[in-house]
Amino acid sequence: MVAFDGTLGLFVSLLAGTVLAAQECLSPRTVALNLGPCRVLAVDKSDVSSFGIIVGVEGTEICVSPSTTVNSTFLTEISVCADNQLDMSSEPSQKNVTMTAQQCRSRRGGFVDKSALATADVQTVKDLNPGWGIFGNKLTAAASATLQLLDERITVVVGLITEGQKSTQSHLALSSGSTLLRGLKESGLIGALSWGLNSGSQSVLFPRVGSLVLGGFDKGSLAGPFFDYPVSRLPLEGRYCPLQVVITGLSVRTRNSSETEIVGKANKLLACVEPYDNLFRMPKNYLTQFQALLKGPLVEPSSYSDRLLNLEPGIVYRKDAADFNATLRFTINYNQTVEVPFHEVQRSLRGLDKNGAVIVDPDYNELQIYGTPAEGDAAVLGKAFLSQVRSILPNTLAI
Ligand SMILES: *[C@@H]1O[C@H](CO)[C@@H](O)[C@H](O)[C@H]1NC(C)=O
Ligand SMILES: *[C@@H]1O[C@H](CO)[C@@H](O)[C@H](O)[C@H]1NC(C)=O
Ligand SMILES: *[C@@H]1O[C@H](CO)[C@@H](O)[C@H](O)[C@H]1NC(C)=O
Ligand SMILES: *[C@@H]1O[C@H](CO)[C@@H](O)[C@H](O)[C@H]1NC(C)=O
Ligand SMILES: *[C@@H]1O[C@H](CO)[C@@H](O)[C@H](O)[C@H]1NC(C)=O
């Protein structure tokens, strides 16, 4: 069993072809980026408080999230925080919630201004990213942008997120056809078409900074073996996610060792491993079981949104009305067991105040499981589950 805490971790390695492992050893060149709290200045020089990786784009900085759902990098554009984009009610999880412009800026991790970028062909980006539009993401503009990744610069064609509520922040492309990785490899800036993510922790009690290594992985943060899974070419419930695993066990263990089984060998569950998502996503019937375990009423985001904007609402409840106090024990593909500790499962409610600054409301707790099911009802293991994940892309891609 691999424990999960600040020093030990879950190591899932998802291989498309083992051939590349040797190539990776011979070519150690990597680009290593920090993943953690991200504070930058927006285009108008106001403060942005976000979480992610800092990327420079033509004189401004934005906070981006690693994403395996896309082959092209998608950047939030200034119009995504225009007055007519602040009402979030189109999302089932955010009924009756409207952001302030400052909250929008932090939620999006800042943005670029497309008038400062060279226009590119939208259709090319659409063709490379067949999954983008399926759940209501719109693609209205594309640009050629020079991204500054610490000391390295690379020019790529990016999609621009100009409207809608589907994407929280910018996506840094890590899918099997990532134009970013291929560009870095072709310019000799990385030695292998691979990446390694140490997702850090956004725990309120024990936060920890993570990293994204392009062209390799952070060997220094390993505390156990990688488990290998093949990369899937098929969407899961319509969702494009190359990294998929089978959950063959999931149980909730309270401190007094009582155990409730949610998933067993008889009802095993296919799940996306998606670092863009922060929380766990459960299909509806499992979600209902978690809500029942709380033995207390849930709270809608609109009931506290005048004080705090919840970026990705989990299962929220008043501290004095319900309690969870348990760990989640996952078994993947029958033989990898991971116990997610209590402080990664339940947290004090955190969000953004009216000025877009991060605050915690000690009267509420939140389980790190999305309060509403995913589009298509797929299960997703997000950053709250991952300690470390690594992927090696196929050397040649069918495009
Ligand atoms: C949203 O507001 C409407 C009208 O005020 C109300 O009927 C509804 O219950 C609210 N929904 C939520 C989820 O708060
Ligand atoms: C990325 O491109 C590859 C190769 O063309 C394709 O198989 C895959 O479905 C694409 N992934 C996404 C998430 O769009
Ligand atoms: C969880 O339960 C244990 C005892 O079962 C208790 O000591 C601990 O304080 C509880 N933690 C929280 C956050 O409620
Ligand atoms: C263990 O804790 C659970 C939930 O807090 C409670 O329902 C159950 O009765 C406890 N079991 C024992 C043996 O104390
Ligand atoms: C896990 O199980 C798979 C097949 O179910 C097997 O091929 C693999 O070797 C096992 N891994 C470990 C570490 O036991």
Asked whether residue 241 falls in the same domain as residue 172, the answer is no
Please count the structural domains in the chain.
2
Contact status, residue 358 vs residue 350, Cβ threshold 8 Å: yes
Asked whether residue 97 falls in the same domain as residue 175, the answer is yes
The contacts of residue 58 (CB under 8 Å, 6+ apart) are 112, 116, 117, 145, 146
Asked whether residue 133 falls in the same domain as residue 259, the answer is no
Q: What is the pLDDT of residue 101?
A: 96
Asked whether residue 90 falls in the same domain as residue 140, the answer is yes
* Cβ of 285 below 6 Å from ligand 3: no
* Cβ of 18 below 6 Å from ligand 5: no
Asked whether residue 16 falls in the same domain as residue 150, the answer is yes
Residue 209 lies in a domain: no
Nearest ligand to the CA atom of 248: 5
Asked whether residue 114 falls in the same domain as residue 188, the answer is yes
Q: What is the pLDDT of residue 394?
A: 56
What is the extent of the structural domain holding 354? 224-396
- The residue count for the chain: 399
Q: What is the pLDDT of residue 154?
A: 97
* Cβ of 254 below 6 Å from ligand 4: yes
Asked whether residue 178 falls in the same domain as residue 318, the answer is no
CATH number of the CATH domain containing 257: 2.40.70.10
> What pTM, to 2 d.p., does this model score?
0.88
Asked whether residue 178 falls in the same domain as residue 324, the answer is no
Q: Are strands 346-352 and 227-230 parallel, antiparallel or unpaired?
A: unpaired
Q: How far is the CA of 233 from the centre of ligand 2 (A)?
A: 8
Give the separation between CA 247 and CA 362, rounded to whole angstroms.
33
Q: What is the pLDDT of residue 157?
A: 98
* Cβ of 70 below 6 Å from ligand 2: yes
Q: What is the pLDDT of residue 360?
A: 96
Give the separation between CA 102 and CA 81, rounded to whole angstroms.
9
Q: Which atom of ligand 4 is nearest to the CA of 258?
A: 1
Residues of the chain with pLDDT under 50: 1-26, 395-399
Choosing from 11, 15, 248, 333 the residue with most ligand 5 atoms within 8 A of its CB, the one to mutate for a pocket test is 333
